[in-house]
A and B are shown apart, each in its own frame.
Chain A
């Protein structure tokens, strides 16, 4: 069964360091997303991406964040200068169709900022 894959599964970094989280969406999907979930809290939308550009972003997705699709398969989230409050689980997700298709999540990348 096709799945969204994410690396790394866990990353520990020092405050102020740059972090890149990687995702390989399901191959025939067209819409890509990043969500985050702080431990014990709700799943929060960060950004959506379609046709090689950001289609929507939340207030959380400030100038410290960026996304990129460097090739035909990878979808990355970069945090330029990590803060303690960036510690969370980051989920990549993808969807096939507009309007009715389901959203499928990767297993997540746990980011710990010290």
Chain B
């Protein structure tokens, strides 16, 4: 059983498009959730934490739905520089569980 599951994609979208990623988690005891961005051959970098009330950071909006046990990431007005793999993660106690990542390519 995978703790965190996400669609691996790839998502190929034109510049300026809005794209949404979803991620489901199986452990209802998970306390915190995060989205990470990983560029090719680089480390995952924290993009944003995800709060129950939803949170926004510029073109990025993250939402958490505890009842349905999923988190989402919305990217508006996609830029070429948004091309990367996006990993969702959940924290249960001191353990972090990562999804397989969703690949995004923004096309000019």
Chain A residues, CB < 8 A from B91: 99-101, 103
Main secondary structure of the interface of A (DSSP, over half): strand
Q: Does A56 contact B (CB under 8 A)?
A: yes
Interface range for B: 20 to 34
Q: Are A98 and B43 in contact (CB under 8 A)?
A: no
Number of interface residues of A (CB under 8 A): 24
A101 to chain B, nearest CB (A): 8
Name A99's contact: one of B31, B49, B98 (CB within 8 Å).
Answer: B31
> Which B residues lie at the A interface, using CB under 8 A?
31-32, 34, 38, 41-46, 49, 87, 89, 91, 93-101
Which residues in A have some Cβ–Cβ distance to B below 8 Å? Answer: 31, 33, 42-43, 45, 48, 50, 55-56, 89, 91, 93, 95, 98-108
